[in-house]
Structure 1
Amino acid sequence: MSDPFDIFLVATPGLEQPLAAEVSELGLTPEIQPGGITIRGGWADVWRANLMLRGATRVLARVGSFRAMHLAQLDKRARKFPWKDVLRADLPVKVETVTRASKIYHAGAATQRIERAIAEELGAPIAADAGIVVKVRIEDDLVTISLDTTGESLHKRGHKEAVAKAPMRETMAAMFLREMGFDGSQPVLDPMCGSGTFPIEAAEMAMGLAPGRSRSFAFENLASFDAARWQGLRDGVTLRKPLVRFFGSDRDAGAIRMSRANAERAGVAEVIDFACLSISDLTGPDGPAGIVIINPPYGARVGNKGPLFGLHAAMGDVLRSRFGGWRVGIVTSEAGLAKATGLPFLPPGPIVAHGGLKVRLWQTAPL
């Protein structure tokens, strides 16, 4: 298991491109595939991807593969697989199987064979609620064994307790900021900040904070885990002092309280200004122009869309008249609402899956 293996980084569909750019900045070579990125590496790369990547939702280690044409062959080869190199005998395991275009077509039967092989050859207990998940994919008679090294989705950074309605996931927020060219040197303002995701994510990026610094991961319970090397990776993260400030406002005082509490837990409260303001009272902050990014109400989140067109038109007027030189990004499922702002949008970004809706990032050049 010391040889390099494939590592699959699960992306939010539609945000594979900015994730690939982030992977390249970590010094890894990304291969874009639908729904994610494949890289080659070892266990240290698995740990680093979980710790450092803002856009990935999960990291799967593809630890081996073999051919199997029928269940008896699957049973035999699963028993010969080096489970002890990757799994611990003292911790429960769960197996999930999908099959496609293969002679073995019954995923449930395949799962039973692999569970039995792990239980009898390694001695690990099998449990439906196990924190260690073995993912098996059988496609064209090739059985690929992957381990979920993440556990809870990576958008759960570990410091957001308070969540507003229809929240923007941290992973998506980071990739939308990246698509707008954010590199930590520009101020970012969200005038409908909800629980503060955009300004908090921007501040963390500017400060060089590792997104996974406040949480644990499933790989810490694998046989391949090296606690000393992992601590060395965590300690090696270089922090920076940001040269700009970040801003969040919302007309809901409860949202502002949530945002401030979340920013405190994330360790970025000192560089973010939160204010209880309606859009009509919004003004451009002192200092250089930067990025306004908004996840306004839209689509299934609101029953009667009529008033939303007026809200978007008013928002566009405020931004055009008071934010000269700033670039604006709006995340919405409704092209009509984006156009109602009257802002000079560039062609919209790719369709992105968000909570059952299909949203896009609409952004402008500097106003």
Structure 2
Amino acid sequence: MTKNRHFEIFLATSPGLEDMLCAEVKLKGFRQPKVVPGGVTMRGGWPEVWRANLWVRGASRVLARVAQFRAEYLNQLELRSKEIPWSELLKPDVPFQVEVSCSSSRIYHSGAAAERISKAITETLGAPNSETAPVIVRARIENNFCTLSLDTSGDLLHRRGHKEAVNRAPMRETMASLFLRKCGYTGQEPVLDPMCGSGTFVIEAAEIAARLNPGRSRQFAFERFATFDSAAWEQMREVKSQRTPEFHFYGSDRDAGAIAMSKANAERADVTAYTTFSQATVSDITPPAGPPGLVILNAPYGTRLGDKKKLSALYRALGTRLLEHFKGWRVGIITTEKSLAHASGLPFLPTSAPIPHGGLKVFLFQTDVLK
């Protein structure tokens, strides 16, 4: 895996959102992406890895596939791991760690497998192993077949680097961007979130419209690799396709603290000029001046029966307000409960499979244009 060699690159996402991620990857100009369980694969070199981390909004992490081989025994795993040219990939003075998952294989003890791979890397490269190292080698052993990857992202990619304040049960930016895409959003219409929390949907929508790279404010694990070219990377980061959005993006929330958080996050993301946040209940929201667009929200779920009964009234109030005042707009509501969504009285299209989110499974309920 030298600087010019092409290899398999895996972009991870939540199960159920793979098609949306693949559509984004194609739109960003990457060649021949393929949907696989849990993400998208494509082929490319290190520049494609850097661009994927910098450009792609929906991926939670980007993995560079180092090697794939059969391994039924720990000794075999260690020997095959020693055959990999680690000196071309990692630096001897940068600590690393190994994380392993095992499934349906003779090698079933992930800790023992991690020890063997770590030993192989240390003996061939000389780099120290550390449980807190920012460089992670990931191994997946499934059906006696081992796939070794370098985690090129480091921190998960929803950590854009310009959002500090979050509220309870926040929607991850990566997932929010794919839900926006699933609702047909392309940056060419206004967006309103009437339960905006820390502003995730509004800020993502504004960034998409302004063509701001999601990874522009952060660092990545690949910057510590032996394959890293700092001059080429800086040149890539400096290329901007930023534009001034034609539309505005709105968030409201009944909580004053949420509005303060949203405004602070929007300022750090440099989208204050395109966003407006105001304190309001769902019964008080009004459509902004201008053309209709998309209303999208991560509604409260309620995990206990009492919560659901109280929340039904909230969903009914939201639905009534939207039906009466937001004709011409589309609606997307993310929630765990079909009964709560239908309590809104909104004319939802058929729903797709649930998406894992924060230990729960959520559905995206969408409408066509409200009439």
TM-score by length of 1: 0.97
**Following the alignment from structure 1 to structure 2, what is the Cα–Cα distance between the partners of residues 77 and 363?**
49
Show CA shifts across 1:145-190 (max 9, x none): 1000011110111111110111111111111110111111100000
**Following the alignment from structure 1 to structure 2, what is the Cα–Cα distance between the partners of residues 141 and 216?**
35
Structure 1 residue 63 and structure 2 residue 66: aligned?
yes
**Structure 1 segment 160-175 matched on structure 2, within 5 A:** 160-175=163-178
Structure 1 residue 27 and structure 2 residue 29: aligned?
yes
The offset of 1:134, in angstroms, is 0.5
**Structure 1 segment 305-344 matched on structure 2, within 5 A:** 305-344=308-347
Paired residue for 2:137?
A: 134
Contact 2:308 2:340 in 1 (8 A): no
Structure 1 residue 271 and structure 2 residue 285: aligned?
no
**Following the alignment from structure 2 to structure 1, what is the Cα–Cα distance between the partners of residues 69 and 361?**
37
Amino acid at match of 1:87: L
Paired residue for 1:88?
A: 91
Specify every segment of 5 or more residues in structure 1 that has no aligned partner in the other structure, as ranges: none
Structure 1 residues 225, 301: CA separation in 2 closer, same or farther (over 3 Å shift)?
A: farther
Paired residue for 2:199?
A: 196
Structure 1 residues 73, 295: CA separation in 2 closer, same or farther (over 3 Å shift)?
A: closer
Structure 1 residues 70, 296: CA separation in 2 closer, same or farther (over 3 Å shift)?
A: closer
User: What count of residue pairs does the alignment treat as equivalent?
Assistant: 367
Amino acid at match of 2:172: R
Paired residue for 1:17?
A: 19
**Structure 1 segment 1-367 matched on structure 2, within 5 A:** 1=1, 2-28=4-30, 29-300=32-303, 304-367=307-370
**Following the alignment from structure 1 to structure 2, what is the Cα–Cα distance between the partners of residues 278 and 72?**
63
The offset of 1:106, in angstroms, is 3.0
110-119 or 84-93: which moved more?
110-119
Contact 2:302 2:311 in 1 (8 A): no
Contact 1:9 1:57 in 2 (8 A): yes
SS at match of 1:305: helix
Contact 1:166 1:301 in 2 (8 A): no
**Following the alignment from structure 1 to structure 2, what is the Cα–Cα distance between the partners of residues 199 and 11?**
21
**Following the alignment from structure 2 to structure 1, what is the Cα–Cα distance between the partners of residues 71 and 358?**
37
298-307 or 192-201: which moved more?
298-307
Amino acid at match of 1:105: Y
Structure 1 residues 172, 69: CA separation in 2 closer, same or farther (over 3 Å shift)?
A: closer
**Following the alignment from structure 1 to structure 2, what is the Cα–Cα distance between the partners of residues 176 and 307?**
26
**Following the alignment from structure 1 to structure 2, what is the Cα–Cα distance between the partners of residues 303 and 31?**
44
SS at match of 1:88: coil
Contact 1:94 1:133 in 2 (8 A): yes
**Following the alignment from structure 1 to structure 2, what is the Cα–Cα distance between the partners of residues 52 and 302?**
42
The offset of 1:37, in angstroms, is 0.8
SS at match of 1:247: strand
Contact 2:298 2:335 in 1 (8 A): yes
The offset of 1:109, in angstroms, is 2.3
The offset of 1:299, in angstroms, is 3.0
**Following the alignment from structure 2 to structure 1, what is the Cα–Cα distance between the partners of residues 238 and 8?**
26
Specify every segment of 5 or more residues in structure 2 that has no aligned partner in the other structure, as ranges: none
The offset of 1:236, in angstroms, is 1.5
The offset of 1:67, in angstroms, is 2.9
SS at match of 2:140: strand
SS at match of 2:303: helix
The offset of 1:122, in angstroms, is 0.5
Contact 1:12 1:352 in 2 (8 A): yes
CA RMSD in angstroms, aligned pairs only: 1.4
Amino acid at match of 2:21: L
**Following the alignment from structure 1 to structure 2, what is the Cα–Cα distance between the partners of residues 168 and 49?**
21
Identity value in percent: 56
**Following the alignment from structure 1 to structure 2, what is the Cα–Cα distance between the partners of residues 206 and 213?**
15
**Following the alignment from structure 1 to structure 2, what is the Cα–Cα distance between the partners of residues 127 and 205?**
38
TM-score by length of 2: 0.96
